[in-house]
Structure 1
Amino acid sequence: MSKVDIACIIDDDYIFVFGTKRMMELSDFCNSFMIFKNGREAINALAPLLISGKNIPEIILLDINMPIMDGWEFLDEFTQIETHKLITIYVVSSSIDPADMNRVDNYKSVTNYIIKPISMEILRQIMLDMDDK
């Protein structure tokens, strides 16, 4: 399993972010993190990186329900930014609403929908999926 260079977590739940980051550290998932508490903060930081092609995360874990800019709004803006690097996006949410689960099919850039919390097994599966790309 290959280690991810930069992982990005976009979520306003500090407990989820702390726990996920800790599990990533314990499983040697990535070299570094980018953490954003809403979609607007993430777009503002990621857009210049995508344009420059430097320090782009390989994977994004994206929450749906956040203040200021939610995950869907983030995806709508993010997919409009041209990038030459493949970025794998997982929507990670506590929502079990089938409408949310089906909505990810509208976004080619979203690999999967994961229901919180994230486990070590899910992280291992993400690493295996990254190896297949």
Structure 2
Amino acid sequence: MKNILHICIVDDDDIYKYALTKSVATLLEGNQVSLFANGEDTLDHILTHQNDLAALPDIILLDIDMPVMDGFQFLEEYEKIAHSLAKKITIYMVSSSVDPEDVIRAKSFETVTDYISKPLNENKFESILSEL
């Protein structure tokens, strides 16, 4: 039996979010998907539901460049609360940036599992899901 996952996509690009959900639709089928446009909304959701296993995502696919609170700002705040959450959340930084400094900075966060260059294709997404 397949585990049901809660997947959270945090990106301000609505076209990218739409394209990603369509391109990996078969892998998302039956899983819960939450979409957020910035880190602040995501952090608010996590804080509101920090003790609710079902409401907390299993995976966060996090962009870097977003308004209000970017991916790095989100990670700085998230790492302060990660220990108090009801479950461990796996975070992947997913960005179109190929700047080596962004990659190094993303990987410097204890809570970041990996840095993935956009676009996130079906094979890579399937690999992420299989690692859980």
Structure 1 CA distance, aligned partners of 2:37 and 2:53?
Answer: 23
- Taking a change above 3 Å as real, the CA distance of residues 73 and 30 of structure 1, as seen in their structure-2 partners, is farther
For structure 1, which runs of at least 5 residues remain unmatched after alignment?
Answer: none
Report the TM-score, using the length of structure 2 for normalisation.
Answer: 0.89
State the number of aligned residues.
130
More off after superposition, 15-24 vs 35-44:
15-24
Pairing 1:1-133 to 2, within 5 Å after superposition: 2-28=2-28, 31-81=31-81, 82-130=84-132
Letter in 2 for 1:22: K
Shift of 1:29: 5.9
- Taking a change above 3 Å as real, the CA distance of residues 99 and 24 of structure 1, as seen in their structure-2 partners, is same
CA contact (8 A) 2:106 2:112 kept: yes
Runs of 4+ more than 3 Å apart: 1-4, 51-54
Q: For residues 74-118 of structure 1, what are the alpha-carbon distances to aligned partners after superposition, in whole Å with 9 as ceiling and x for unaligned?
A: 011111112131110000000000000011222111100000001
Structure 2 CA distance, aligned partners of 1:105 and 1:48?
Answer: 27
CA-atom RMSD, angstroms?
A: 1.8
Structure 1 CA distance, aligned partners of 2:64 and 2:14?
Answer: 15
Shift of 1:53: 4.0
CA contact (8 A) 1:64 1:70 kept: yes
Larger RCO, structure (CA 8 Å, separation 6 or more): 1
Shift of 1:28: 3.9
For structure 2, which runs of at least 5 residues remain unmatched after alignment?
Answer: none
Report the TM-score, using the length of structure 1 for normalisation.
Answer: 0.89
Structure 1 CA distance, aligned partners of 2:54 and 2:26?
Answer: 26
Report percent identity of matched pairs: 36
